[in-house]
């Protein structure tokens, strides 16, 4: 069973050969080998705590969370994974600073080297360069309300196009019109073992499609015992497909001395970030939910209870278009919802090298896209719990 698809109104996706996003140091050029992972390079000058290689003194830190100047000024919207790392606040590199980014690359799944979907819009005013994934973007804002949590840009990962409005026609597109970027020979992506994972009381489907994974290999500072980062998940599965097999997911997969290969982005019940969790509260109050999946009768008076934040942060994103839901007793609703900014903290061992993989995928089919904003990565000087909370 496929989710209903709204025909895109003003763009055509032209298939192209996938290309691995090769990462290079700022100012360097690609090695020319599209299948390789190029480490950040430079001369070593000691181990320091700070995004920019400076010491974490009173001018750049608050004693608990490292806050140093951003490094994302002037980066292009379509860029490589090293630039994505800079955008979210990872400004040091392990070779020149003794800690920070070791390597970074985009792929279409866990433990994969094949690139995420590459395509371009058929529009004279906005053509995405060939060879760079459309599923990642570096944006100065997302919609009319959301701004970066640090620096000038925020990172965006999407199962569709990593832009506002999913297209180029001045706002007529929504993420409900997103095409199957990788085709419909499911699964097209590769999730980690045990994923996709069902939410409590809800079905799931084992297919992860239209997936993008940014894998960051990092070396912790010698005096860091943890890290944290912020993210904001948007899904057009809401409200019709709440608690169905078509619930797209965002996870943050860590492999370190403290987290031995597992997701660290979850709610109080250890449920991954989907439309089924209480963090989803940016949506239309009293909208009928779940009726398109067949689990809830069309005439049921079922209402979502997690929309206290309203729809303001959906404005201008492509996730805030209003239309009737599948539930007959429902009023019009936003065709999408979000969590708002969340913060996840993770413990690490000082000086260790570990991986952080940020992944998002369509679950069950490849329609009705989802997006995740990521920003404000910070090193933490004392060991935190693995927990996700509302961002402050």
Question: Would you call 127 exposed, middle or buried from its count of C-beta atoms within 10 A (0-12, 13-18, 19+)?
Answer: exposed
User: Whole-angstrom Cα distance, residue 306 to residue 9?
Assistant: 32
* Model confidence pLDDT, tens digit, residues 140-170: 999 999 999 999 999 999 998 898 876 544 4
Closest CA to 116 of 61, 190, 175: 190
More confident residue, 13 or 335: 335
Mean pLDDT for the stretch of residues 315-320: 91
Residues shown for the chain? 392
Mean pLDDT, the chain, as a whole number?
A: 79
Structure pTM? Answer: 0.81
Rounded (10°) CA dihedral 22, 25, 26, 27: -90
* Model confidence pLDDT, tens digit, residues 176-188: 877 788 888 899 8
Reading the block at residue 267, the tokens are 């709610």
């Amino acid at each position: 069973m496929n989710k209903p698809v709204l025909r895109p109104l003003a763009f055509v996706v032209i298939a192209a050969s996938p290309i691995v996003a090769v990462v290079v140091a700022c100012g360097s050029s690609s090695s020319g080998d599209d299948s390789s992972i190029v480490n950040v390079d430079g001369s070593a000058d000691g181990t320091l705590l700070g995004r920019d290689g400076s010491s974490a003194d009173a001018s750049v830190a608050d004693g608990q969370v490292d806050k140093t100047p951003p490094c994302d000024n002037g980066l292009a919207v379509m860029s490589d994974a090293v630039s994505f790392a800079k955008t979210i606040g990872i400004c040091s590199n392990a070779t020149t600073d003794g800690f920070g980014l070791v390597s970074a690359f985009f792929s279409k799944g866990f433990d994969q080297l094949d690139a995420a979907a590459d395509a371009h819009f058929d529009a004279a005013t906005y053509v995405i360069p060939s060879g760079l994934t459309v599923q990642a973007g570096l944006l100065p804002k997302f919609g009319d309300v959301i701004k970066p949590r640090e620096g000038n840009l925020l990172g965006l990962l999407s199962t569709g196009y990593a832009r506002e409005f999913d297209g180029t026609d001045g706002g007529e597109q929504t993420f409900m019109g997103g095409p199957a970027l990788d085709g419909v020979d499911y699964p097209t992506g590769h999730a980690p073992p045990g994923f996709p994972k069902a939410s409590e009381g809800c079905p799931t489907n084992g297919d992860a499609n239209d997936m993008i994974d940014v894998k960051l290999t990092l070396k912790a500072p010698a005096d860091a015992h943890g890290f944290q980062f912020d993210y904001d998940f948007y899904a057009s599965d809401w409200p019709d497909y709440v608690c169905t097999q078509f619930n797209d997911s965002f996870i943050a997969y860590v492999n370190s001395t403290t987290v031995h290969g597992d997701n660290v982005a979850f709610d109080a019940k250890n449920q991954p970030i989907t439309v089924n969790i209480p963090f989803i509260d940016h949506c239309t109050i009293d909208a009928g939910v779940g009726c398109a999946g067949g689990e809830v009768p069309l005439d049921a008076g079922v209402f979502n209870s997690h929309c206290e934040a309203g729809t303001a942060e959906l404005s201008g994103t492509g996730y805030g278009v209003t239309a009737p839901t599948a539930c007959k007793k429902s009023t019009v609703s936003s065709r999408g919802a979000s969590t708002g900014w969340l913060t996840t903290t993770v413990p690490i061992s000082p000086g260790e090298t570990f991986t952080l993989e940020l992944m998002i995928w369509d679950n069950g089919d490849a329609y009705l896209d989802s997006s995740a904003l990521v920003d404000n990565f910070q090193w933490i000087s004392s060991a935190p719990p693995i927990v996700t909370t509302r961002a402050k």
